[in-house]
Amino acid sequence: MLGNMQFKDIVGQKDIINRLASVVDGGRVSHAQMLLGDVRETMPLALAWLQYLCCEHPIHYSQGELQADSCGECPSCKKIASLMHPDLHFVFPTAATARVKEKPWSGEFQGEFRDFILQTKGRGNIDDWYDFLGIENKQGLIREMDADAVVSTLGLKAYEGGWRIMVVWMAERMNESFANKLLKTLEEPLPGTLILLLAESDERLLPTIKSRVQTIKVKREGLEVKESDNAEFAELLVGWLRMLFKLKMKELSAQVDKMAGLNREQQKLFLQYAMKVMRGCFLNTAAGVECHIGSGDEKFDSQFPKMITVNNIELIQSAFDDAIFAIERNAYGKIAMMELSFRISKALKKR
Ligand SMILES: [Zn+2]
């Protein structure tokens, strides 16, 4: 369950959100829009925006950062949040998998895509998607068959009497035949239809497509750790730190499995979070700056920071940097996390 994908759930991006809301309020929604930016940012934005667009009781605020938001309660909001709205459709890159051995296209993977978006809260990128599908050759495409689906789906009457929406996720992965068919649809748009392209780069898109879509650029800003992740991360981190003390291989391995079970982006965020906590511990030892590990165990919280000193902070920092770099470069998460565990464990002994 995506939970509530409302504007208020998005980290940062308040200017874009208010702009998107006013496009809806002013009745200026174009039949072809593009959000250009990191897809881990644009997908949550797109879902919150579409929920607002279709909401039966949108809320308007007279103060605070947000001008408006969807209600999150009406049947339409609930259907969008669970990706079950009959007028909301997705096309996205696919490739052959163990299950779909030939002629892959989005229609074959609707269930998987929905699960992927719900599990990652829309914050997964293309690598995460290929990992999710178990695709090894990472060259997915959006193809002609996907375009046929766009044309026939948008040609139907809307079930709910409102917008019929097609989201094209990672639009730069469209091949030429998809692009040509899409172009025809953009030239003769059907009333009440919205094609929303999400692309990280528009370099590979046809100029004729670019000229027919209204583009909004989305800056990278919402990828920092959210409060809700912090509680989860804190628990994971404390479990891990305890294992590093004892260094019992079997238990450490089980804990590392949990960490490597996060998707790639979450693994990176977790490591950044862990590093931030370590630096906090160091500042506590070196300069008496207060720090909270938040393990729920007072003894651990007061003892652990003392382990991080001027003698090992650099070793710890570089071990984290290397692990984050490895994960960014598509290394196998468990190996990177194990390696990191040994280096940190060794560094802690050098205090
Ligand atoms: Zn609503």
User: Ligand 1 mean position to 189 CA, how many Å?
Assistant: 27
> pLDDT for 240-256, tens place per residue?
998 887 778 888 999 99
Fold held by 7-217: Rossmann fold (3.40.50)
Integer distance in angstroms from the first to the last C-alpha of the chain? 45
* β-sheet bridge partners, residue 69: 59
> pLDDT for 257-313, tens place per residue?
999 988 888 898 899 889 888 888 888 887 777 777 777 778 888 888 888 988 999
Helices within 160-248 (DSSP H only): 176-187, 207-210, 227-246
User: Ligand 1 mean position to 61 CA, how many Å?
Assistant: 15
User: Ligand 1 mean position to 54 CA, how many Å?
Assistant: 7
User: Ligand 1 mean position to 167 CA, how many Å?
Assistant: 20
Q: Residue 82: its pLDDT value, please?
A: 93
Q: Percentages helix, strand, coil for the chain, rounded to the nearest 5?
A: 55, 10, 35
Kindly tell me if the per-residue pLDDT of 228 is higher than 60.
no
Tell me what the mean pLDDT of segment 4-24 comes to.
88
Question: Of 230, 241, 247, which Cα lies nearest the Cα of 307?
Answer: 241
pLDDT tier at 32, thresholds 50, 70, 90: very high
pLDDT tier at 229, thresholds 50, 70, 90: low
Share of the chain above pLDDT 90, in %: 52
* Mean pLDDT over each residue of the chain, to the nearest integer: 88
pLDDT tier at 12, thresholds 50, 70, 90: confident
> pLDDT for 99-125, tens place per residue?
888 999 999 999 999 999 998 889 888
* Strand blocks (E) in the chain: 32-36, 59-60, 68-69, 88-91, 164-169, 193-199, 214-217
User: Ligand 1 mean position to 70 CA, how many Å?
Assistant: 5
User: Ligand 1 mean position to 81 CA, how many Å?
Assistant: 10
The answer to whether the predicted template modeling score (pTM) of the entire model surpasses 0.85 is: no
Q: Residue 225: its pLDDT value, please?
A: 47
Q: Residue 112: its pLDDT value, please?
A: 94
Q: Residue 223: its pLDDT value, please?
A: 53
Structure tokens at 131: 């990992």
